[in-house]
Amino acid sequence: MSEPKFKKNPFSLQLDVSKFELATEEEKSQQERMRPSVSFWKDGLRRFRKNKIAMACAIIIVFIALVVIIVPIFYPYSYSQQLGVRPFMPVDDSFNNLAPFTYSTTEQTLRDAGQFVWPHIFGTDDLGRDYFIRILVGTRISLLVGFFASVIVLIIGVIYGSISGYFGGKVDLAMMRVVDIIYALPDMIIIILLSVILRQTLGNLIAGTVLEEIGTGMISIFIVFGLLYWVGMARLIRGEILTIKQQDYVLAARASGAGGKHIIIKHLVPNSVSVIIISACLQIPSAIFTESYLSFLGLGVSIPMPSLGSLASDALGSVFSYPHRLIIPALVICLIVLSFNLFGDGLRDSFDPKLKR
């Protein structure tokens, strides 16, 4: 057994004996700085707030939504008002095809006389309608379509998926087969077909009702979404329900009893709800895409109601003379879709439990 040996006076400095006393508990615990534990939601929110891009997108979305809701109420021009056309008077052509921030001859005379005429920020279209307000209303339509389509998908998907997952067995098998088949259908082609048909058949049905305002195109979009696009959500929900059911059995086997159910709700619901919300959120841009695409083909909203897609389509004919009429709606579509995409990505990065490090 060798004890630690040392030469005489190896210490270059004096030994501080007091330091070699035992440390107390408080001194030790000062070293331990525990990180506070956070709840799932708070943690997610904190992470989301750190994500600058996602926060910026959220702000953009809210801003756009507010603008398109509030501004049209106060705006001096309406989206369907052909400014050159007044009852009992000859059509005033000078209102048509105005470039941004220019005025028609009539308006110019008023201005010369000292009156203030609200400028046409984006000019007018070939029928003399103020383009800016049409863009705003078009954006509003697109946002509404996106939102309601997602809601429809969410509701149908959740109901279908829950039933399938809850009952399981043969019911589940049959329901999932249907899902497989619908999933395998090429959606766009079917949408176009159905849009055409519905436009013809529904047109007669809804004439004279409130729905005519909205137009067969819009209704057909919603119907088509309701028929085809819920399958992804249904599969997702079913998967979550099946997981919950598994947990149920495990807990039933143990003696935990009633306490278990609360634990499930506390742990599993946050997991599935966040997945569902994120999925619904990412559904919105795809709905807007589809709507603008259909409107571009002429199968969406009916005139005179504008949609970003139909505005772009209408502007195609005169694209070389008035390029801004096509560029502006195109850019707005891109902006909205991009914002929603990044927002959804940000949500997923912050809240998706599978990505938690």
Partner 1 sequence: MNSKTVWYIVKRILLAILTTWIVITITFFAMHAIPGGPFLSEKAVTESVLEALNAKYGLDKPLFIQYLNYLKGVITFDFGPSIKMRGQNVTDVILQRFPVSAAIGLISSGLAIFFGVVFGSLAAVYHNKWIDKTIMVFSTAAVAMPSFVIATILLLTFCGVNGILPIGGDTWQGLILPIVALMMYPASYVTRLTRSSTLDVLSQDYIRTARAKGVSFVKVIFKHSLRNALTPVITYSGPMIAYVVTGSLVVERIFGVPGIGALFVNCITNRDYTMIMGTTIFLTVLVIVMILLGDILYKIVNPRVSFD
Partner 2 sequence: MSKIVKIHDNGLFPTRDNVLYAKDLQPGHFFRKNGEVYEVFGKVDCEIGPEICKFSVSDTKTKVESFMSFAATEVVDFVHLLEVNNLQTTFVVGKEKVKAIDGVTFNLEKGKTIGIVGESGSGKSVTAYSIMQILASNGNIVGGSVKFQGQEMVGADEKFIRTIRGARISIIFQDPMTSLNPVYTIGNQLLEAVKLHTDLDRAEGLEKCIEMLRLVGVNSPEKRMKQYPFEFSGGMLQRVMIAMALICEPDILIADEPTTALDVTIQAQILELMRELQKRMGMAIIIITHDLGVVADMCDEIAVMYGGKLVEKGTAKEIFYKPKHEYTKGLLNSIPKQGTRERLKTIAGSPVDLLNLPKGCRFSPRCASCMKICLEEYPAEMRMSETHSASCWLNVKAAFEKEKEGDGQ
Residues that bind partner 2 (CB under 8 A): 1-7, 10-16, 18-23, 27-29, 31-33, 35
Identify which of residues 103 and 293 has a Cβ nearer to partner 1 in the complex. 293
**From partner 2, partner 1, none, which one binds at residue 12 (CB under 5 to 8 Å depending on kind)?**
partner 2
Please report how close the Cβ of residue 225 comes to partner 1 at its closest, in angstroms: 16
**From partner 1, partner 2, none, which one binds at residue 293 (CB under 5 to 8 Å depending on kind)?**
partner 1
Burial 267-305 (b: 16+ CB within 10 A, else e): ebebbbebbbebbbbbbbbbbbbbbbbbbbebbbbbebb
Identify which of residues 27 and 112 has a Cβ nearer to partner 2 in the complex. 27
Residue 232, number of CB atoms within 10 A of its CB = 15
Burial 92-108 (b: 16+ CB within 10 A, else e): bebbbbbeeeebbeebe
- Distances, alpha carbon 50 to alpha carbons 12, 56, 135, 271, 338, in Å: 51, 11, 33, 21, 19
From CA 186, how far away is CA 100, in angstroms rounded?
A: 42
**From partner 1, partner 2, none, which one binds at residue 262 (CB under 5 to 8 Å depending on kind)?**
none
Tokens in use for 185?
Answer: 């259908």
Identify which of residues 310 and 350 has a Cβ nearer to partner 2 in the complex. 350
Cβ pair 308, 329 in contact under 8 A: yes
Identify which of residues 9 and 204 has a Cβ nearer to partner 2 in the complex. 9
Can you give the binding site for partner 1, defined by CB under 8 A?
180-181, 184-190, 192-194, 196-197, 200-201, 204, 285, 289, 292-293, 296-298, 309, 312, 316, 319-320, 323, 326-327, 330, 333-334, 337-338, 341-342
**From partner 2, partner 1, none, which one binds at residue 15 (CB under 5 to 8 Å depending on kind)?**
partner 2
**From partner 2, partner 1, none, which one binds at residue 42 (CB under 5 to 8 Å depending on kind)?**
none
Please report how close the Cβ of residue 266 comes to partner 2 at its closest, in angstroms: 25
From CA 254, how far away is CA 231, in angstroms rounded?
A: 35
Identify which of residues 153 and 288 has a Cβ nearer to partner 1 in the complex. 288
Please report how close the Cβ of residue 348 comes to partner 2 at its closest, in angstroms: 18
* DSSP state letter for 20: G
Tokens in use for 168?
Answer: 């399981």
Cβ pair 347, 54 in contact under 8 A: yes
Residues 6+ apart with CB under 8 A from 214: 301, 305
**From partner 2, partner 1, none, which one binds at residue 14 (CB under 5 to 8 Å depending on kind)?**
partner 2
